[in-house]
A = this chain, B = another copy of it.
Amino acid sequence: MARIAYEDLTPGRVIDLGKVEVDRDEMVAFAARFDPQPFHLDEEAGRNSVLGGLCASGWFTASLFMRAYVDNVLADSTSQGSPGGNELSWLAPVFPGDVLHFQLEVTGARRSHSRPNLGLVEITGTADRGGDRVLRFSFVGMFGTRDAD
């Protein structure tokens, strides 16, 4: 099958990015390096916080989404990176052992005016734990067009 190009990412398309279980040790190690707030490091501090328990740095959850997105889409695509997004929402705390289900939906797509061989794709990525959405990231992905591939 041809790799994923701009033409494949049509508005309305939904792509399943699989499930991942949150590993407690990795979650805490990430927080110790990048987000050492007490409720990300320590069980008791988490319980005593508004978050209700030891929970993941939002950047860890976002990074887990990114890995699932790379594995399931970008690794075999014409991706040229991303300029960023207009929504990054941490909707609920994520706890060790949670199983996160990642998914994306294409919400818009247009060719670049200045670089017609490049397409700008609007994507909303999500992470759900059972019926609860815990992460939403709406961003732009840049992909080469198939005619340029």
List residues of chain B with CB within 8 A of the CB of A35. Answer: 63, 66-67, 70
Count of this chain's copies in the oligomeric assembly:
2
The residues in A between 62 and 89 inclusive whose CB is less than 8 angstroms from any CB of B are 62-64, 66-67, 70, 74-75, 79-89
List residues of chain B with CB within 8 A of the CB of A75. Answer: 36-37
List residues of chain B with CB within 8 A of the CB of A139. Answer: 88
List residues of chain B with CB within 8 A of the CB of A63. Answer: 33-35, 59, 63
Docked pose: A81 CA to B55 CA in angstroms: 11
| Option from B39, B74, B80 in Cβ contact (under 8 Å) with A50 | B80
Knowing A62-B59, A63-B59, A66-B59, say if A80 contacts B49 (CB, 8 Å): yes
A149 CB to closest chain B CB (Å) equals 14
Name A's interface SS. mixed
Which single residue of chain B is at the shortest CB-CB distance from A74?
B37
* B37:A79 contact, CB within 8 angstroms: yes
List residues of chain B with CB within 8 A of the CB of A82. Answer: 58, 90
Knowing A84-B58, A89-B83, say if A70 contacts B37 (CB, 8 Å): yes
For A123-149 the 0/1 string (1 means CB < 8 A from B) is: 000000000000011010010000000
Most buried by B among A39, A66, A93: A66
